[in-house]
Homo-oligomer: A and B are copies of this chain.
Amino acid sequence: MKANIRTNGMPRVVIAGAGLGGLRLAMELRGRGFQVVAVDRNNYSQFSPLIYQVASAGLEPSSISFPLRRLFQGCRDCLFRMAEVRGVDPGAKVLLTSVGPIGYDYLVLAMGGETNFFGQAGIEREALPMKTVEDAMVLRNRILLALERAQTEEDPQKRERYLNFVIVGGGPSGVEIAGALAEMKKDVVPRDYPDLAGRMHIHLLNSGPRLLKSMDPASSARAEKDLLKMGVHVHNGWRVTDCRNGVVSAGGGTLESATVIWVSGIRAVPVEGLPPGALGRGGRILTDRCCRVRGLEDVFAIGDQSLVLGDPEWKDGHPQLAQAALQQASLLARNLERKEKGGAMQPFVYRNLGTMATIGRKRAVAEIGRMKFGGLPAWTLWLVVHLRPILGVKNKFFVLLNWIWNYFTYAQSLRLILRPRPRPLEEPQEGKPRGGEAAPGGQA
């Protein structure tokens, strides 16, 4: 594909990563005179805010995953390549991938974030991340399996370990999965495992002094109060230092658990080949206010992978939230069009639409402008805000149906331990005799 740049006179925009930001960019570039090549390691785009509901058996993986090829069907001049990104060669204007180099006129890095274990091998080996749909599928299995094991384990100490669920990280993901597990404890365990009723424990470990530190202290207090009411043990000021053989060591003490969920940090997905000095805090790629990567001409970065410098209101960069990625994508689509027409690009101005976190049934916290509220109004708003961006009529409908179903039955209904044994598609060896292949249609 290297030689094809400016096919039919159209500049080619290569987008590395088809998450919320990359996908929005691809969609907004339609009809603006660009050829778009989107590259992602998966053949689907996932809707991150609902991943915890897949982990807690409330939603199907497919309900929050959208096949990219289907999304691109309506888009002439849009190509999708399922590939791993290996690096960038800005001199040759090429993105290096597992399916070969892809030449670009403009490159946009939008690969998002990944779980940060902060280099702690024990944690990486034992704790379970919750960043991707695939993580969530593994987590669901592990949560259900721990309950099954607890049911048949006769050694009380081991049983207790299976019944202890430790969540590390006091941000929205930690609060959300803690709340979902608390509902499982209350509504599902007594019915599915009568012997275990009241013996499951959920511990939320938070390194800072309060949960949801990016929100107002009033919201933090409300979230903590709700979680405590739901029976979650909230441990503030516990910084986890190790996890080994089922024992979590933290500043405040130790806990034994067979299921340690790690939602304590993300870092930007690393990319090889960027100039020195292009990376900032958390591995985020530093850009100017037009999302252009520091030191490069035609390479941009948006979303969780990037950090926009120069916004006086957001000196440490904008928050790594869906809305920032989406706003940057929309601006960049317009900016690339402006640039092609010889105009000047506009700087990014973040519009804070508000933040929210759900805790459980009719429990959530929300902040919109100066309004801070919780309970049923926040929870209802959360549902609406998170149903709207789900792509596709069918997915919206299925998510809504699952929510309604779970609401009325008080149960996460997808309590299945599915463990497909992966069989990778391997390259057949070369130089084998072929011959004798049936002529297609020969017998028709």
Chain A residues near B (Cβ < 8 Å):
42-44, 60-62, 65, 67, 69-70, 73, 81-83, 99-100, 128, 133-135, 137-138, 141-142, 144-146, 148-149, 151-152, 157-158, 161, 191-193, 201, 203, 228, 231, 233-235, 245-247, 252-256, 258, 394, 397-398, 401, 405, 411, 413-423, 425, 427-429, 432-438, 440-444
Contacts and interface: CB of A to CB of B under 8 A. Distances in A.
A44 B428 contact: no
Contact of A73 (B151, B192, B428, B434): B192
Contacts of A254: 434-437
Contacts of A157: 434
Given A62-B60, A398-B398, A440-B201, A161 B191 contact: no
A216 B47 CA distance: 49
A256 B437 contact: yes
A115 B212 CA distance: 51
Contacts of A420: 134-135, 137-138, 141, 420
A433 B245 CA distance: 10
A438 B233 contact: yes
23 contacts: A43-B144, A43-B148, A44-B418, A61-B416, A61-B418, A62-B414, A67-B192, A82-B152, A145-B425, A146-B425, A231-B441, A233-B442, A233-B444, A235-B443, A245-B429, A245-B432, A246-B428, A247-B432, A253-B436, A253-B437, A253-B438, A254-B436, A256-B434
A233 to B, nearest CB: 6
A411 B161 CA distance: 45
A417 B158 CA distance: 36
Nearest to A65: B416
